[in-house]
Amino acid sequence: MSPEKIAIFDTTLRDGEQSPGCSMFLDEKIDMARQLERLGVDVIEAGFPIASEGDYRAVRAISQEITGATIAALCRTVPEDIYRAADALKGAARSRIHTFVATSDIHLQYKLQKTRAEVLEMTKNSVSIASENADEVEFSAEDATRSDVDFLCEVFSTAADAGATVLNVPDTVGYTMPHEYSNLIRTIKDRVVGDRDITISVHCHNDLGLAVANSLAAVEAGARQVEGTINGIGERAGNASLEEFVMACSVRSDKMPFANNIDTTQLYPASQMLASIISFGVQPNKAIVGRNAFAHEAGIHQHGVLSNPLCYEIMTPESVGVPKNDIVLGKHSGRHALLSRYEQLGFEFDAGEIKEIYTRFVELADKKKNIYDQDLLAIIHDRATAVFAA
């Protein structure tokens, strides 16, 4: 029997993009979406179309551009949001409307000023409208982990009855603990899903540093979609880091016997591309994609790794797409070496762009002995000016 599949839902362009320092321009979002497609994510959440004209345009463009993943658009449980999302998703090969409403008492009272009965009504109406306007509907109960569990199950049942086939259980404020979260997932599976063909999804925030651990616990309890972002960007302390979740499943497949569509060698290129677009990089000791993730400085470690990498490495750098540093780019490097490095990082250019980029590369190589990935990324983005000035 082949292993059960975990769907990977990427929200770098929505939850990630709406966090401080992470705004992206349209062409940058399209580059990122192409890289996510190469990475093999199942769903790309491309934006929140009612929130801004920019989000609407991004969802529309990505829907037209990407054929290898389902495109999702976020909306509140409000008809005008849903129609706007459906409109933006029109060109998608496969479209998903992702509608959400808060279910915790604190959100109902202070944010929504709605009763529980009103929330149930909004859920029913909006999921019904959404299911007529997209290929599939995902429903999220915002702040699920701080909601009354009986009410939460009632809301999820209402959404499922109205046509939602993915039920997302967000730990919106990064509050839950792994064992507590897995209990909640089991309860929803028993009380809401039963025999129905419905996927339980999880969306974890990292306020206590538990987003990936909670996602893994949820999968063991029956969740079959995991939401995350590249480099773990997202509101406050961020979302579950997609690369960490995927590599935990890969390295510990003995404990996590599930399949997914991710090409892990595209993780590092995705991380580098995102870092080049937003206003901050990856912390050096970040798992999987940080600069030090595969660095060995202590003498005894170096000796061990040289004798056999398995002494200290549980995965190889190549498995996540960290390039071997045989080739150092410098002023003697030709166009071919430069373009093949860009290709490894996920970028392709037309003839006009190549000419301009190569000229800028040569200018930089005249001033700087070794050209690193960060320099190559700076060459093609706005930060180039800052680097040249330094």
Q: What are phi and psi of 142, to 5 degrees?
A: -60, 140
Smallest separation, CB 207 to Zn ion (Å): 11
In the bound complex, which residue of the shown chain has the CB atom lying closest to Zn ion? 15
Q: What are phi and psi of 294, to 5 degrees?
A: -125, 20
Comparing CB distances to Zn ion, the nearer of 131 and 206 is 206
Contact between residue 122 and residue 101 where contact means Cβ atoms under 8 Å apart: yes
Residue 138 interacts with Zn ion (CB under 5 A)? no
Q: Which residues of 213-249 are buried (b: 16+ CB within 10 A; e: fewer)?
A: bbbbbbbebbbbbbbbbbbbbbbeebbbbbbbbbbbb
If binding means CB under 5 A, how many residues of this protein chain bind Zn ion?
Answer: 1
Residue 171 interacts with Zn ion (CB under 5 A)? no
- For 21, counting Cβ atoms within 10 Å of its Cβ (0-12 exposed, 13-18 middle, 19+ buried), the class is exposed
Smallest separation, CB 11 to Zn ion (Å): 7
Comparing CB distances to Zn ion, the nearer of 15 and 373 is 15
Comparing CB distances to Zn ion, the nearer of 18 and 271 is 18
Distance CA 323, CA 321 (A): 6
Smallest separation, CB 96 to Zn ion (Å): 16
Structure tokens at 281: 């990089």
Residue 15 interacts with Zn ion (CB under 5 A)? yes
Smallest separation, CB 190 to Zn ion (Å): 25
Compute how many other C-beta atoms are within 10 angstroms of the C-beta atom of residue 262: 21
Comparing CB distances to Zn ion, the nearer of 155 and 364 is 155
Smallest separation, CB 142 to Zn ion (Å): 9
Those residues whose C-beta lies under 8 Å from the C-beta of residue 83, and which sit 6 or more positions away, are 129, 133
Residues 58-87 binding Zn ion (CB under 5 A) are none
- For 385, counting Cβ atoms within 10 Å of its Cβ (0-12 exposed, 13-18 middle, 19+ buried), the class is exposed
Comparing CB distances to Zn ion, the nearer of 15 and 138 is 15
Q: Strands 136-142 and 43-47, how do they pair?
A: unpaired
Smallest separation, CB 155 to Zn ion (Å): 18
Piece of 15-23, 39-47, 127-135, 280-288 that binds Zn ion (CB under 5 A): 15-23
Structure tokens at 228: 């995350």
Piece of 12-20, 27-35, 124-132, 287-295 that binds Zn ion (CB under 5 A): 12-20
Smallest separation, CB 102 to Zn ion (Å): 12
Smallest separation, CB 230 to Zn ion (Å): 14
Strands annotated E in 15-66: 43-47
Piece of 8-16, 62-70, 102-110, 345-353 that binds Zn ion (CB under 5 A): 8-16
Comparing CB distances to Zn ion, the nearer of 15 and 17 is 15
Query: What are the C-alpha distances in Å from 87 to residues 60, 73, 93, 216, 344?
Result: 8, 10, 14, 35, 35
Comparing CB distances to Zn ion, the nearer of 172 and 260 is 172
Piece of 11-19, 100-108, 123-131, 346-354 that binds Zn ion (CB under 5 A): 11-19
Q: Which positions touch Zn ion (CB under 5 A)?
A: 15
